[in-house]
Structure 1
């Protein structure tokens, strides 16, 4: 079988096959492969499709293996291509000793979000697959929401859902995206002022703040640099935050006129450049500091550092623009500069909605 075939490493027992996988935004496979060159397992590319790469490991990976770096959306141990549930069950090997969470998600994903009707099709496929795996004797957990230590079965599907699917597994840890496939189920609402709404919602999901039953942002304070026209601010207001937006540009009326259920006005606009803000106009402390400034990373970082010294936010969500070769090459240098002043831990990722930019999440939301 040729080395680039997805079946060439499927085997009969996933843990014995020294292959790993990672998904990424389609078109960013080279960045993902470049990151993989430096990890100690010694990865040799084996199979690639848009948004999906597998590697053969020179050193067998540990059970907790994840591909470190920025461009891997989801990663873990590769099982390979499976033609149906029975085929998948036969290839699980020692993984069958665990009760598995099932994550099903598409290989290719539109950057502005997958329509809910498409998610409904995928969910129906997941329901059928879950039943078939149980019928085959695999212990499965109904809930797809993960907690630390869960063993997750990743099933990556094609558009038609009828073709053979790719499977892998990973152990959910502190550095693993909690959302299946790292793909939040968010589509830009018609009333949103801009697509910054989508990027912010995806960043919140990456930070573990988009939860089903709790409202961790409600009543907390956010300061946003570069807020106009207001997509990210609008998302925060919808989640019950009080927001100060700083931007010389005009804010959308839907943000300026947003009202709480009690009739309060939770948004304040400082219509000026971020570097000219009088500290007396700022809240004494913020819970969240956001920047999506369209500036070179070094300039943006200086402004954020100055603002953070004033508001002492426990959580930062920052966008780093990487739209030229020089900036891309200095990415790690910029992350180091953020570590000098931002609260930890610091994680960076290429969100599904990101273009030539990455998202940095630093710290944790305070109680």
Structure 2
């Protein structure tokens, strides 16, 4: 929500009037000099939306203020053209409404378009989040990263490395929404006050690493060629893509990292396949390259990759994981009920590479239980189990 600066206004005044933490106002307006607001300048107020109201006969600012439970000064700030003593019938004014509930939609099979729609909505309401593209998929879809917070500890979380594990994306999107909601309302999640965590932790989220694969599983083969014919051929002519983990070229993105890649490639398919094909070499695919470049250009203290299924957490790789990994995974297990597993009979995964090259904690969280893609009926339970892990990643 935008307001226009009046004579004598300051960000502190807006913080008090809208009951929004000053730090969030500063982060929502990075180009504004706090001590130098200029008359007529536009300022973003996070955590609010506006509705239109048409003035009728007999309306006064006091009556509108009372009807919508909005301070008069707030109404005047949002509607600088209003003449208090001569409201015009038919005039449209903006009424501010504080956002107090989750706005994202996670009640249907969730594809790339759903994610973009939700991220755009969240970005409009909460302009202090920082969104950018870290690369594009084979089919040219941008892969967005969201950053939130400004603390020295950097935590990276991603989801949907695999197409038929798309349910992990709405888990991250809903968490993002609840975190933003708590921040702007000075609230808490499970008794944890969020604003101190915002100041100590910078959270990086890539909610959908494999957008082409997700759309393939959720919506069926694309209309574009040559992708349509190629994926049908890889899938033996079948239009059932429920078993598809790979990207649109039939490469398993979580078998793409230079951490014993040769070993993983030797025991998987030798040609493109719905799952497990490691490619012709490490990091051949644009999606895996995007995550690798993001990691190299950041300073992540730990990484979490959300997958399905099994209700387990893998946390080691070849004995290279630091001692703190065990402390963290035990807390993850406590809050989620998931089983920690130190080593898995696999390699070339994202968390493997991170542990190997940075010697910092990396985790693969396998949410839910059953056959992929997991049904939406599991989403609420998966979210509640994942929520404890996500909160722990902020406070530990």
TM-score range, shorter chain: under 0.3
Structure with higher strand content: 1
| Normalised TM-score (structure 2) | 0.24
| Normalised TM-score (structure 1) | 0.26
Larger radius of gyration: 2
Structure with higher helix content: 2
